[in-house]
Amino acid sequence: MSNRRIVLASRPVGAPTLDNFRLEEAPVPTASRDGEFVVKLQYLSVDPYMRGRMSDSKKSYAPPQPLNEVMTGGAIGQIIESRNPKFKEGDFVQGQFGWQQYALSDGTADGARKVDPNVAPLSAYLGILGMPGLTAYFGLLDVCDPKPGETVLVSGAAGAVGSYVGQIAKIKGCRTIGIAGSDDKVDHLRNDLGYDAAYNYKTVTDHNSKLKELAPDGIDVYFDNVGGVITDAAILNLRVHARVAICGQISQYNNEKPEMGPRLLGMLIVTRSRIQGLLVMDYAARFGEGVRQMAQWLNEGKLTYRECFEDGIENAPKAFLSMLQGGNTGKQLVRL
């Protein structure tokens, strides 16, 4: 038996490619010290933040992914050996276990948490009940404070975070507008996720006019997953006292130099709006609250979710690159 794993082989210049990764084999780890346990992983998450970690940037909130080491990433699986009384053999556990088949944990450094497969399927703990779901929950409710009747605009609306944000905004009685990168995704936003309006950003050149058409009275809340020209247009359409959460800037992640956009900060004076960056880990102490509420909405049928799977550890890089290019609707995962 071996532990097949994906390491970072080189740092990308511009868009990452399959050559930036390498598949390796190592011995399956064993729990040789008290407190350790071994997890046989069943699902891996691929997320946009990993693109940032692949670069050697000093301007990140987290250190770069070291070369030739297992790619960082959330994962979930079952404990097959344990010397830790809090994590028993047979328990299901999630944590920052990386892109590999087996992980050795001490129960703390990787943020290991037990999960209950009776509440939701295991994979949901990497999506709607995991980091992306918590990002949507705290980002929308805490940073943006949406009120009933307000208009909420979401970019990256058909991906993991965006698909949850739109639904939570509807639960809160808001009018929702979603932006995504294909006609199929736009149909999904309207028909499955309850968005009141949606458009395909790849077939629209004048985002300002499009937003004026869809939100003639302006936007109260903008949940930004993408940045770039879409965000420039959103800022031009804010209402007085609007709130903007900068969750992600995926349109910029492959840029070697920052892109300069129109300088629209004056609009914040005109509208007395607030723009705030958000980092889900800042809410770690409240994750229990977020998971409980999301699970309740899920069980009440107020939330729905989609997942996309690639099978096999060897396909983790492919799943990651596909997600960066919009191949996913909902949460992109790797099934082992």
Ligand X SMILES: NC(=O)c1ccc[n+]([C@@H]2O[C@H](COP(=O)([O-])OP(=O)(O)OC[C@H]3O[C@@H](n4cnc5c(N)ncnc54)[C@H](OP(=O)(O)O)[C@@H]3O)[C@@H](O)[C@H]2O)c1
List contacts with ligand X (CB under 6 A): 47-49, 132, 135, 156, 158-162, 180-182, 185, 225-226, 247-248, 250-251, 278-280, 323-324, 326, 328, 332
Nearer to ligand X, 112 or 189 (CB): 189
* Least gap, CB of 164 to ligand X (angstroms): 8
Considering the complex, what minimum distance in angstroms separates the CB of residue 322 from ligand X?
9
Which of residues 123 and 332 has its CB atom nearest to ligand X in the complex?
Answer: 332
Shortest Å distance, C-beta 171 to ligand X: 18
* Minimum distance of ligand X from residue 235's CB (angstroms): 16
Residues near 260 by Cβ (< 8 Å), separated by ≥ 6?
A: none
Q: Minimal distance in Å, beta carbon 40 to ligand X?
A: 25
Instruction: Give me the least distance between CB of 23 and ligand X, in Å please.
Output: 23
Question: Is the CB of 107 or the CB of 159 nearer to ligand X?
Answer: 159
90, two tokens: 């047979």
Residue closer to ligand X (CB basis): 245 or 336 = 245
Residue (38 or 214) nearer to ligand X, CB: 214
Quote the least distance from Cβ 116 to ligand X, whole Å: 23
> How would you write the chain as a 3-class SS string?
CEEEEEEECCCCCCCCCHHHEEEEEEECCCCCCCCCEEEEEEEEECCCHHHHHHCCCCCCCCCCCCCCCECCCCEEEEEEEECECCECCCCEEEECCCCECEEEECCCCCCCEECCCCCCCHHHHHCCCCHHHHHHHHHHHHHHCCCCCCEEEEECCCEHHHHHHHHHHHHCCCEEEEEECCHHHHHHHHHCCCCCEEEEHHHCCCHHHHHHHHCCCCEEEEEECCCHHHHHHHHHCEEEEEEEEECCCHHHCCCCCCCCCCCCCHHHHHHCCEEEECCHHHHHHHHHHHHHHHHHHHHCCCCCCCEEEEECHHHHHHHHHHHHCCCCCEEEEEEC
Residue 13 or 279: which CB sits closer to ligand X?
A: 279
Q: Closest distance between ligand X and the C-beta of residue 48, in Å? A: 4
Q: Which is nearer to ligand X, 1 or 285 (CB)?
A: 285
**Closest CB to ligand X among residues 107, 166:** 166
